[in-house]
Structure 1
Amino acid sequence: MFSADMGSSESTPPPPPPPPPQSPPPHPSPPPAPPSPCLRQPWRQLTESSGDIIRYLGAYHPRNAQFSHLRVLLHGPVGAGKSSFINSVDSALRGRVTGRAATDATSGRSYTLEYKTYKIEKQASSFYSVVFNDIMGLEDNLDNGVQVDDVKLAMKGHVREKHKFNPQNPLSERDFGYNPDPTLDDKVHVLVCVVPVDTVSLLSDGVVQKLRQVRLAARDQGIPQFAILTKVDQACPEVGRDIRNIHKSKYLKKQVEQFSVLLGIPVNCIFLVKNYESESSTSEDISRPILTALKQMVNYGEDYVNDINSNSNSNSFRSTSYTYEYHEELYINTEGPGEEERMRRHWS
């Protein structure tokens, strides 16, 4: 016999299973890495060592017997590093840091006031066959800085050694500092424009106009022209960390191209350098770009003096001048990749 309450009881349903464990939310994808400020490969290869270039320059002497040396004139805005570049060339060639050309890191005015020739000692009582002249800096204000007419006179050899420039009174034929009868050695054989690389887009219209006037005057005389863009380590952090990035820096490459358009100087005549400023000893990585630029100046200057008519006192630059002008126009009017290669083919 069954108990009465056995049929009345109901079974309790089992508890629901626990929910499956939830996967943690996926981590958001990291943002893409910013593009590298440096190219994978340098856009310009420096194939020669400093030692090779020093030996080349040590053996160099103008083939034209009318010349004892090449004269290189540096010009550019105030504070560009013209005097520092002369010191850097001297340092790179002599293997120790020198400071013969006075510089000033604080003044906003030109520290160079007089026209002075710098010879670089090769050995005791012998010198390299290239000399440098520094000149007062160009300024926007007509009352300050060297006058364009004075730069033109210097190119023609009419400025005497130690002449002190006066921005308010350009040199005239009546002045003692005027050289009425310059020799071929007195004249300028290579013109170099020196500009801080980070100021290319900041140059005032007045300074750019003066730079162009000087450039056109040199073109009319057939004088080969170069540009040195300085202070690369201050302009690009990657180069400041490692000077070997000088030709990998995208920013510096862009500045070179911009300066080429600004003044019409071909890219292969524009050189990036770091001057010796805070260093106490020389190094291959700093010296090599400096000496590479110097060798090109010597090569172009040699072509120039060899093309001078020995029967004329004027600086005729017939065949090479024509090629240089065509080279210049080709660069200005050609766009797109490969333009630099085409220019090189037209130079020869």
Structure 2
Amino acid sequence: MQSAWATQAPLTSNLTEEQRKQLCDLLGNVALNLLYKASVHGYRASAFHRRCDNKGPTLLVVYNRSGYIFGGYTSVGYSQSGQKIIDREAFLFSFQGKIPVYSKVNSGCYARVDDAGMPNFGQQLYFIYEGEVVYKEGGKSYSFNAKRLYGNDTELTECEVYKVNEIRNFYMMTKEKPWRNIRLTSIQKNELMEMVRSYKPLVTSVSRVRILMIGPVGAGKSSFFNSINSIFTGHVTNKAISGYAGTSVTTQFRTYPVKDGRQGKPLPFVLCDTMGLEEQSGAGLDIEDISSILQGHIPNRYKFDPSAPFQPDEQNMSRPASLQEKIHCVVYVIDASKISLMSDKVEEKIAVIRREINSLGIPQMVLMTKVDEACPHVEKDLYQIYLSSYIKLKVQEVSSRLGVPVSCVLPVKNYSQELELETNCDVLLLSALQQMLRLADDYFDDDDDAI
């Protein structure tokens, strides 16, 4: 029996601010509101349900004698319905060092049973059963290792349940809905990274997809490579020279492979960087060089000469490039803050390039960079990107001016002045990379040479 003083005591979380932030990153743009604390309200099912029923999404966090912090999330609120709950968003987690490692509910399985007892996940983990956590082997809902999850120490020292509140903002208050549904969470980031790691081109003769980046000077082609490389390295990197000096910083044709970690294996794609497009004739990337790049004739580190297009040697002229050497997807990199200022001459150059690429049947998309500089709401909070009507208008504008479908225009923010990685930024960048790999597969699917 808990004393009246204990029942009325203010609720204080056992989570550190860093742990709270890490858990919020798993769930997206949310805040955690502590509903139930076992040491205050008692280790009884009636106390738990009185505080937690009909509260919507909740996060359960428990602590054991060995110092483990673990628990589970469900997006479906408790109601004592007696039903087996299907919840694709549910997961179990455990802090492994500073970062929580999670296990999502397995496909086709129920997440939990909504009964009158204490919380259970998939009838595998029963929380707060007489002050302990009970694990039953053989369940199919979650794939996890009990020793790693909580060190096989079932005696709990505390249990907390938090209501998960989506943070309200200007767009939510005006009841605007996101114009694209992308979950900006660390779970989504990890799933996208795993997708990239496991990706294999549709044709066995190609080991790595070659993605060509084309765009005006200073739009962020080299910065995109640096950003993707940063995500897989685990910290911000600047391997490719980037910046803006009035003319193109990139003077060579560069092929940039990306490794899965500093000492990891090469990932199944290569980003190909080119000299920037410029207004003046005889400056920037020569349009005639594009054809040679697309067909795989220009070697890595070839130095562009704006006054004269690339001339393949006799050996290259007599030997057609293999499918492995050709470009499989083209990405136009456009500065979101300068779309309306794009000159007619640059737009005409892109139109000529598009016609050449279309003739070869290579898929194309647009990477719209510097969205934070284009919209003050997005600059304040990148989470606003698909709630911003201004960014939506910019996507439609670049689609109309370049002749690319709206679905193939992806807004992103490259790393420029940041010192640490940010989940929202990573998800946008990885989603764009995912689209590039999908377009490359479309190319392989349609190309007769790929059969």
Fold conserved (TM > 0.5)?
yes
Task: Determine whether 1:283 maps to 2:422.
Answer: yes
Q: Structure 2 matches for 1:243-258, cutoff 5 A? A: 243-258=382-397
The aligned residue for residue 184 of structure 1 is 323
- Cα 1:214–1:267 change in 2 (3 A) is same
Q: Is the 8 A contact 1:158 1:180 kept in 2?
A: no
Task: Determine whether 1:121 maps to 2:263.
Answer: no
CA distance in 2, matches of 1:37, 1:167: 52
Q: CA deviation at 1:252?
A: 1.2
**Count of aligned positions:** 278
Q: 2:350 aligns with which of 199, 211, 222?
A: 211
Q: CA deviation at 1:158?
A: 1.3
Q: 2:178 aligns with which of 34, 42, 57?
A: 42
- Cα 1:277–1:44 change in 2 (3 A) is same
CA distance in 1, matches of 2:426, 2:191: 12
Task: Determine whether 1:76 maps to 2:212.
Answer: no
CA distance in 1, matches of 2:372, 2:291: 32
Q: Structure 2 matches for 1:318-337, cutoff 5 A? A: none
Q: Is the 8 A contact 1:97 1:282 kept in 2?
A: yes
SS in 1 for 2:437: helix
Q: CA deviation at 1:41?
A: 2.1
SS in 2 for 1:52: helix
| Corresponding letter in the other structure for 1:40 | E
Task: Determine whether 1:292 maps to 2:292.
Answer: no
Higher RCO (CA-CA < 8 Å; seq separation 6+) = 1
Q: 1:108 aligns with which of 217, 241, 246?
A: 246
SS in 2 for 1:271: strand
The aligned residue for residue 140 of structure 1 is 279
The aligned residue for residue 318 of structure 1 is none
- Which 4+ residue blocks in structure 1 deviate beyond 4 angstroms? 34-39, 174-180
SS in 1 for 2:444: helix
Q: Is the 8 A contact 1:43 1:247 kept in 2?
A: yes
CA distance in 2, matches of 1:68, 1:174: 26
The aligned residue for residue 376 of structure 2 is 237
Structure index of larger Rg: 1
Q: CA deviation at 1:37?
A: 12
CA distance in 1, matches of 2:396, 2:412: 15
Q: CA deviation at 1:176?
A: 9.8
- What whole-Å deviation, never above 9, does each CA across 1:147-181 have from its counterpart, x for those lacking one? 11111210111111111001011112359998953
Q: CA deviation at 1:218?
A: 1.1
- What whole-Å deviation, never above 9, does each CA across 1:88-124 have from its counterpart, x for those lacking one? 111123321111111124x000000111110100153
SS in 1 for 2:179: coil
CA distance in 2, matches of 1:110, 1:311: 34
- Cα 1:304–1:158 change in 2 (3 A) is same
Q: Is the 8 A contact 1:234 1:240 kept in 2?
A: yes
CA distance in 2, matches of 1:267, 1:37: 27
Q: 1:61 aligns with which of 191, 194, 200?
A: 200
| Corresponding letter in the other structure for 1:122 | D
The aligned residue for residue 448 of structure 2 is 309
SS in 1 for 2:404: coil
| Corresponding letter in the other structure for 2:255 | T
- Cα 1:174–1:234 change in 2 (3 A) is same
The aligned residue for residue 18 of structure 1 is none
| Corresponding letter in the other structure for 1:150 | D
CA distance in 1, matches of 2:195, 2:315: 39
Return 244-253 or 222-231, whichever deviates more: 244-253
Q: CA deviation at 1:310?
A: 4.2
- What whole-Å deviation, never above 9, does each CA across 1:264-297 have from its counterpart, x for those lacking one? 1001100101101111111111111110011011
The aligned residue for residue 8 of structure 2 is none
SS in 1 for 2:322: coil
The aligned residue for residue 131 of structure 2 is none
Q: Is the 8 A contact 1:72 1:188 kept in 2?
A: yes
The aligned residue for residue 223 of structure 1 is 362
Q: CA deviation at 1:308?
A: 2.6
CA distance in 1, matches of 2:443, 2:357: 12
Question: Unpaired runs of 5+ in structure 2?
Answer: 1-169
CA distance in 1, matches of 2:318, 2:331: 22
CA distance in 2, matches of 1:270, 1:95: 27
SS in 2 for 1:49: helix
- Cα 1:39–1:231 change in 2 (3 A) is farther
CA distance in 1, matches of 2:211, 2:287: 17
Question: Unpaired runs of 5+ in structure 1?
Answer: 1-33, 313-348
- What whole-Å deviation, never above 9, does each CA across 1:195-234 have from its counterpart, x for those lacking one? 1002111111110011111111111111110101111111
- Cα 1:68–1:206 change in 2 (3 A) is same
Q: Is the 8 A contact 2:256 2:271 kept in 1?
A: yes
- Cα 1:222–1:146 change in 2 (3 A) is same
